[in-house]
Amino acid sequence: TGKLWGVEHWDVAPDIITSAKALGGGVMPIGAFMSTPKIWSVMNSNPFIHTSTTGGNPLACAAAIAAINVTLEERIPEQAAEKGAYFIKQLQEIASRHSDVYTNITGKGLLIGQHFVNDDIGYAVASGLFKRGVLISGTLNNSRVIRVEPPLVITREEIDTILNRLEDTLQELHATVSGPGLSVKSEPVPTITETVDSNTAVA
């Protein structure tokens, strides 16, 4: 989101912070639970209540420490803020050109949501991007909002590639839209083996 911890945007001091996927780079099996001394004190009466949870994994811990160091040394949160500002601005311009399809663009840093007028449009955009080698998905079970959460090390050139493929997808979408309700003609979703190649990008 452009900060090391999302809560920093609102100057909040939470009682509990958790971290997992980002801490291990989505590869190493590690998670972290951080809290105040008062909350931790409930463990004092039975510190072995979570034996395996706190059992430790030296390799995973070493990877997490390295990830933290790289994040701070290379100013990854600041990079996310800068790239995200550009990405969001470009998406807003696309949304304004396709206002019959979009309702909003939201987000902070590189955690972005594209809001569409209905589920069919969301599915069609996701399918069109998938065909063009951009892996993308809805927000949990809400296909009206497509998540844009690329790797934090994404380059400006890669962002532009995604934007160009999105524009191509929307142009194709308009060619298949029927009627004022923006009902999209259904098309089969291509399989991964049909579409994913060396030109694939993840957003």
The pLDDT-based confidence of 50 (bands split at 50, 70, 90) is confident
Of these ranges, 25-34, 55-64, 103-112, the one predicted with the greatest mean pLDDT is: 103-112
Whole-model pTM: value is: 0.80
- The amino acid at 120: D
Mean of the pLDDT values across residues 12-25? Answer: 89
pLDDT above 70 covers what percent of the chain?
87
Q: What count of other Cβ atoms lies within 10 Å of the Cβ of residue 44?
A: 7
What are the chain's domains?
6-73 (no CATH), 77-202 (3.90.1150.10)
Higher pLDDT, 178 or 73: 73
Task: Tell me the pLDDT tens digit for each residue of 140-195.
Answer: 778 899 999 999 999 999 999 999 999 999 999 988 875 544 555 444 434 433 33
C-alpha span between 54 and 51 (Å, rounded): 6
> Tell me: the pLDDT tens digits for 94-133?
999 999 999 999 999 999 999 999 999 999 999 999 999 9
Q: For position 197, what pLDDT does the model report?
A: 45
The beta-carbon contacts of 150-158 under 8 Å, at least 24 apart in sequence, are 150/110, 150/201, 150/202, 150/203, 151/202, 152/76, 152/79, 152/80, 152/110, 153/76, 153/79, 154/83, 154/110, 156/83, 156/86, 158/201
- Are 126 and 138 in contact by the 8 Å Cβ rule? The answer is yes
Residue 203 pLDDT? 63
Higher pLDDT, 78 or 178: 78
Mean pLDDT of the chain: 86
Q: Which pLDDT score is estimated for 201?
A: 56
Q: What is the pLDDT of residue 27?
A: 86
